[in-house]
């Protein structure tokens, strides 16, 4: 390993400043990334310099990117980059002293991967500058009209680069095996503020001209930008909130424990290496719960429930500062190394901050969702931690399996080796692989060296293989239990036996998780009278907790409970978070009457959804139609 010069730093500060990051040479057997065309054996991007104008009228980003490359193959004559739906205007190549126009070709578009951009590289060239523009339908951008924002006064733009959408707004090597620092110059309408997954100046003058610098090398899927009428409010010394004006205060109250989560996580898993940790609250159409963009997690407003009941999402995105952002899955087939690890860390942090009862409830809910998902998935490979996503959209690999099966695997290892030893193992993993990408094979090797070999009779290699590759859950899975859910099971049984008035059921003091569990455990054959009794007694259709509402509307769709259809339609039309709407669409799509309604609602809601959510819902509706509902 060699200390190297941070090109980003030289742009902004004295040229002799050395980066504190050691970037390892490419691993000798770096796996082929089936989701990138980039020829990373010949060139590796070390730094990007972006210069973009944000044009809300045309819904276009336009400008240049300069890629500073490390040339690994002195004879290479072509640089291959990933793009999707980009308009490439010109390309120059050369080195730090001069760039000159060079030839390029854009391959035909693959529906999943986009178009390879092939650039002729003169001998010794290690730099390119590309002038380009995005298209309004770019898969990684959502352009919102003022009416689609929280405050309805200004337009909003945000990016979502994971998994392979960075290529729809920047031509680059779009693989998690490449890490680069970046600088950016972003021009916006003067009344709007731009923020990025980089150093954000807390005192930025709002003038439409913004400069960013990301000194830590990150994979392409973590490059992020948002532009809107944003305000900032600090929460702690290292944490704060960016949000539209009317949302700042509420969000700052909801997430006031963030600083403490950060401190706890550091105490267990090692130093936080990213400087600040801020949250950006997005408009409700954001297709995810959260996205761990470094230094600036993007968050759906649907987790602001008013009672901190959904803050595990912040613990999760924060935990990615170790698992994912620092130690990164080498390909999307290794996704569980990002999400399973992160879920394990999330449960650990939740236990530290809110106690073992709450953590046990969250674990049990996660396991419950995993069982439902395993029952629904067709392909055996998708039930394992080692799916093969080649030829498929990596967004299809985002199910509960990598998250919850991954976390159960790590909890299993923790139960075998003891928490102190397992925490120390994880901390070592983060230290040894900081700012690198990792494969499942590497994990296995290290687990064997650090734990299995040192305590031979604890876990067998066959057990580990089953956890990774067997579509069935291992027989010795420790399924999480929560006493709080035993009470709920009793109340549900009483309800189903006919006790359907609020006073007859002992629900006083239930946590939102208990309510979710209450609904999730309902049988498939509730009568309309029972649905009515539920809504009358507990007002689920009016729930202020979007997760509980989503579970309720799933039941509404499943049982064709028409009195709640108007509320369900409102839910589907005001929220874009896929986890809260796709399951409802899936239920509707399962029957002929349901799918008609789903198609109509989708037609009317579509323009408000993110392109990624549009894709996911169209898939669900197509599957429903195929299986005879249409």
Binding residues for ligand BES, rule: CB under 6 A, are 162-163, 288-292, 313, 316-317, 320, 339, 395, 398, 403, 579
Q: Please identify, using beta-carbon distances, which residue of 42 and 310 lies nearer to ligand BES.
A: 310
From Zn ion, ligand BES, none, which one binds at residue 387 (CB under 5 to 8 Å depending on kind)?
none
Just list the catalytic residues.
317, 403
* Nearer Cβ to ligand BES (162/183): 162
CB of 628 to Zn ion, least distance (A): 35
Q: What is the nearest approach in angstroms of Zn ion to the Cβ of residue 366?
A: 12
Nearest to 50 by CA among 298, 225, 201, 216: 225
Give dist(CA 190, CA 206) in Å, integer: 7
Task: Kindly give, in sequence order, each residue whose CB lies less than 8 Å from that of residue 555, ignoring residues fewer than 6 positions away.
Answer: 519, 522, 526, 531, 561
Residue (316 or 358) nearer to ligand BES, CB? 316
Closer to ligand BES by Cβ: residue 118 or 316: 316
Which of ligand BES, Zn ion, none interacts with 280 (beta carbon under 5 to 8 A by kind)? none
d(CA 474, CA 470): 8
Instruction: Answer for the pair 617, 607: CB distance below 8 angstroms, yes or no.
Output: no
Q: Which residues contact 310 (CB under 8 A, 6 or more apart)?
A: 302, 303, 304, 512, 545, 546, 547
Please tell me the number of Cα atoms within 13 Å of 331 on its side-chain side: 23
Tokens read off for 452: 């299995």
CB of 314 to ligand BES, least distance (A): 9
CA-angle at 485, arms to 481 and 487, nearest 5°: 135
Are 402 and 339 spatial neighbours (Cβ–Cβ below 8 Å)?
Answer: yes
- Smallest distance, Å, CB 579 to ligand BES? 5
Cβ-proximal residues to 506 (8 Å cutoff; 6+ apart), any chain? 487, 490, 491
Nearer to ligand BES, 219 or 624 (CB): 219
Distance in Å, CB of 618 to ligand BES, minimum: 17
The closest of 46, 5, 42, 1 to 25, measured between CA atoms, is 1
Residue 288 binds which one of ligand BES, Zn ion, none, with CB within 5 to 8 A depending on kind?
A: ligand BES
> Which of ligand BES, Zn ion, none lies near 290, with the C-beta cut-off 5 to 8 A by kind?
ligand BES
List the single partner that 398 binds among ligand BES, Zn ion, none, CB under 5 to 8 Å by kind.
Answer: ligand BES
Q: How far apart are alpha carbons 378 and 362 in whole angstroms?
A: 26
Q: Which does 406 bind (CB under 5 to 8 A by kind): ligand BES, Zn ion, none?
A: none
Question: By C-beta, is 35 or 68 nearer to ligand BES?
Answer: 35
Q: Residue 611: exposed, middle, or buried by beta-carbon count in 10 A (0-12, 13-18, 19+)?
A: middle
Least distance in Å: CB of 314 to Zn ion?
12
- DSSP secondary structure, 361-392, as one string: HHHHHHHHHHHHHHHH---GGGGSSS---TTS
User: Please, what is the end-to-end C-alpha distance for the chain in angstroms?
Assistant: 58
Residues 318-377 interacting with Zn ion (rule: CB under 5 A):
339, 342
Contact set with Zn ion (CB under 5 A): 339, 342
């Amino acid at each position: 390993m060699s200390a190297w010069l941070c090109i980003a730093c030289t742009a902004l500060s004295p040229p002799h400043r050395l980066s504190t990051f050691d970037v390892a040479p490419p691993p000798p057997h770096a796996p082929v990334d089936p989701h990138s065309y980039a020829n990373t054996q010949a060139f590796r991007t070390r730094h990007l310099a972006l210069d973009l104008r944000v044009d809300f009228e045309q819904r276009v980003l336009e400008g240049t990117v300069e890629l500073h490359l490390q040339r690994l193959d002195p004879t290479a004559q072509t640089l291959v980059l990933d793009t999707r739906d980009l308009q490439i205007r010109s390309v120059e190549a050369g080195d730090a002293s001069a760039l000159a126009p060079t030839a390029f070709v854009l391959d035909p578009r693959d529906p999943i991967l986009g178009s390879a951009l092939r650039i002729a590289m003169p001998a010794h060239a290690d730099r390119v500058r590309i002038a380009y523009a995005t298209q309004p339908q770019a898969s990684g951008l959502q352009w919102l009209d003022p009416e689609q924002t929280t405050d309805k006064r200004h337009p909003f733009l945000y990016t979502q680069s994971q998994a392979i959408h960075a290529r729809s707004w920047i031509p680059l090597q779009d693989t998690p095996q490449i890490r680069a620092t970046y600088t950016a110059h972003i021009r916006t309408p003067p009344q709007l503020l731009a923020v990025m997954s980089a150093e954000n100046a807390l005192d930025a003058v709002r003038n439409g001209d913004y400069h960013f610098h990301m000194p830590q090398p990150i994979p392409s899927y973590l490059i992020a930008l948002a532009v809107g009428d944003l305000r900032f409010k600090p929460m702690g010394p290292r944490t704060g909130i960016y949000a539209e004006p009317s949302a700042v205060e509420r969000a700052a109250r909801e997430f006031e424990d963030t600083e403490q989560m950060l401190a706890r996580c550091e105490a267990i898993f090692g130093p936080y290496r990213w400087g600040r940790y801020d949250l950006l609250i997005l408009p409700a159409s954001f297709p995810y719960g959260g996205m761990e963009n470094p230094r600036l997690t993007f968050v759906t407003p649907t987790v602001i429930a008013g009672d901190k009941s959904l803050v595990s999402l912040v613990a999760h995105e924060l935990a990615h500062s170790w698992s994912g952002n620092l130690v990164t899955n080498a390909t999307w087939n290794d996704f569980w190394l990002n999400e399973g690890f992160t879920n394990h860390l999330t449960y650990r942090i939740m236990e530290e901050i809110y106690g073992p009862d709450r953590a046990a409830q969250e674990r049990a809910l996660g396991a419950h969702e995993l069982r439902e998902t395993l029952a629904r998935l067709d392909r055996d490979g998708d039930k394992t931690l080692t799916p093969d996503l080649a030829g498929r959209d990596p967004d299809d690999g985002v199910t509960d399996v990598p998250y919850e099966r991954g976390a159960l695997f790590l909890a299993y290892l923790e139960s075998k080796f003891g928490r102190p030893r397992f925490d120390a193992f994880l901390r070592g993993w983060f230290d040894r692989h900081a700012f690198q990408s990792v494969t499942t094979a590497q994990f296995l090797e290290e687990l064997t060296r650090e734990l299995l070999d040192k305590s031979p009779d604890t876990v067998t290699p066959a057990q580990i293989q089953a956890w990774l590759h067997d579509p069935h859950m291992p027989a010795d899975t420790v399924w999480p239990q929560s006493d709080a859910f035993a009470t709920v099971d009793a109340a549900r049984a009483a309800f189903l036996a006919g006790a359907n008035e609020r006073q007859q059921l002992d629900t006083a003091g239930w946590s939102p998780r208990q309510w979710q569990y209450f609904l999730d455990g309902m049988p498939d054959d509730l009568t309309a009278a029972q649905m009515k009794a539920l809504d009358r007694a507990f007002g689920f259709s009016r729930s202020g907790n979007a997760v509980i509402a989503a579970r309720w509307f799933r039941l509404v769709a499943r049982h064709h409970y028409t009195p709640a259809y108007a509320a369900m339609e409102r839910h589907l039309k005001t929220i874009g978070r896929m986890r809260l709407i796709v399951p409802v669409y899936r239920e509707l799509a399962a029957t002929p009457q349901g799918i008609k309604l789903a198609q109509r609602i989708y037609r009317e809601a579509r323009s408000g959804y993110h392109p990624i959510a549009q894709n996911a819902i169209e898939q669900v509706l197509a599957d429903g139609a195929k299986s005879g509902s249409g």
